[in-house]
A = this chain, B = another copy of it.
Amino acid sequence: MSRKPGIRDVARAAGVSVGTVSKVLNPASSANIRISEATRGKVLALAGELNYTANYGATLLRGRRTGTIGFIANLPDEFNSPVISSYQMRILNGLSAAAQGKGYQILLISGSDYSSFLEIKRVDALMLINFRLRDNQKLSEMIGMYRTFNERCCPYVVINNTCTELPVPSVSVDNVRGMELTAAHILAKGYESVGFAGEITDNLQQHHLERLAALRKCLRGTGTAFPEELCMLGTACGIPPIPRTGAFNHRDGLEAMRRLAQSGNMPRCLVCGNDDIAQGVICMAAQLGIRIPEELAVIGFDDQTDSAYWNPPLTTVHQPLEEMGCAACEYLFEKMENPEAFKQITIKPTFMERMSG
């Protein structure tokens, strides 16, 4: 129950000054300072014996390294939920693995004033996941923050973002490439008609829009039918908006599938905005007695950790989120060394052909 030992306890026990103890324990910052082996040994031994570890607050106040990276786990207000899903988790896992190697820990930041964490020196760097919605209420606020970060050379990085207003250090998946792979697969399989299932909501994620546009471009002139009425996303498709629950989209897939079946105009292949939607689609198809892949091919996007074990195993575009988290973390470390470093990293997805399409 005794107080945790401080540096002066170690100093007293070793019969040296606190300054000497500090020098022994921080060899890096006192590289040009020589300490006798005898003293060093004594101090190290006593520090170990007393189980001494430096007070975090004092270290912070003097040094500059917090040893922590901030991870912004917030979802947009529209999502109406504090819950993070497997998408963020996979990025987090990549970040975590890279950070661990350098002795860094992750601070999960919630609340809106992210930038203050950097300012008050509670974290050394910031990783933000950007859910870009078609209509982003907070865009100007975010841009202001990015601008300040850029001016001050703050180490930050944004995952899956593109920002036309100013250059933002980022790690992003190549949506166009993902759709090229998907289109190539569709053509190889010879599916004669294609539909798309995205988020059924007014303010959907830009990613779904980008993927749809890229797929449309790839399929143009190939003879594959890809009509507007087979694209179930947004609100123009006639399905009432589906309230967001966290970062989950299963219900969007359920409803898209139901509507498609009702319409009697079913594509041969349904490309989904993400795996969640594909899961909803498959679930509803089973209820409706539509066989996958014999009657309907289903293709996802993301490749969640368990997509290979679905019934049927999902054919999908693998978004290497773990790698992306890892690459983002390495960029952050580089930026801490060299504040001028600026990168926009694009990661190529791969195509996972499995059973669903």
Chain A positions within 8 Å of B, measured between CB atoms, are: 1, 4, 53-62, 66, 68, 71, 73, 82-86, 89, 92-93, 96-97, 99-100, 103, 105-111, 116, 119-122, 151-152, 248, 250, 253-254, 276, 279-280, 282-283, 286, 305-306, 308-313, 322
Q: Does A306 lie within 8 Å of B279, measured CB to CB?
A: yes
Q: Does B53 lie within 8 Å of A57, measured CB to CB?
A: no
Q: Does A283 lie within 8 Å of B313, measured CB to CB?
A: yes
Chain B residues contacting A73 (CB-CB under 8 Å) are 96
Chain B residues contacting A66 (CB-CB under 8 Å) are 56
Given contacts A56-B66, A83-B97, A107-B108, 8 further A-B contacts (CB under 8 A): A53-B119, A84-B92, A85-B89, A99-B110, A105-B107, A248-B306, A250-B309, A283-B311
CB distance from A284 to the nearest CB of B (A): 9
Chain B residues contacting A106 (CB-CB under 8 Å) are 107-108
Q: Does A4 lie within 8 Å of B283, measured CB to CB?
A: no
CB distance from A325 to the nearest CB of B (A): 11
Q: Does B82 lie within 8 Å of A93, measured CB to CB?
A: yes
CB distance from A310 to the nearest CB of B (A): 7
Chain B residues contacting A71 (CB-CB under 8 Å) are 108
Chain B residues contacting A68 (CB-CB under 8 Å) are 107
Chain B residues contacting A122 (CB-CB under 8 Å) are 56
Cα–Cα distance between A323 and B108 once the two chains are bound (Å): 19
Q: Does A82 lie within 8 Å of B110, measured CB to CB?
A: no
Cα–Cα distance between A108 and B322 once the two chains are bound (Å): 16
Choose among B109, B121, B151, B276 the residue that contacts A55 (Cβ–Cβ < 8 A): B121
Choose among B105, B250, B279, B312 the residue that contacts A286 (Cβ–Cβ < 8 A): B312
CB distance from A203 to the nearest CB of B (A): 22
Cα–Cα distance between A84 and B97 once the two chains are bound (Å): 11
Residue from A106, A108, A250, A322 having most chain B Cβ neighbours under 10 A: A108
Cα–Cα distance between A283 and B308 once the two chains are bound (Å): 9
Cα–Cα distance between A216 and B26 once the two chains are bound (Å): 58
A-B contact pairs, 19 of them (CB 8 A): A4-B120, A55-B120, A55-B121, A57-B59, A57-B121, A60-B61, A68-B107, A73-B96, A83-B322, A89-B89, A92-B108, A108-B108, A248-B306, A253-B309, A279-B310, A283-B311, A286-B311, A310-B311, A311-B311
Chain B residues contacting A110 (CB-CB under 8 Å) are 96, 99-100, 105
Residue from A4, A58, A120, A282 having most chain B Cβ neighbours under 10 A: A120
Choose among B53, B119, B306 the residue that contacts A120 (Cβ–Cβ < 8 A): B53
Cα–Cα distance between A68 and B120 once the two chains are bound (Å): 15
Chain B residues contacting A82 (CB-CB under 8 Å) are 93, 96-97, 100
Q: Does A58 lie within 8 Å of B55, measured CB to CB?
A: no
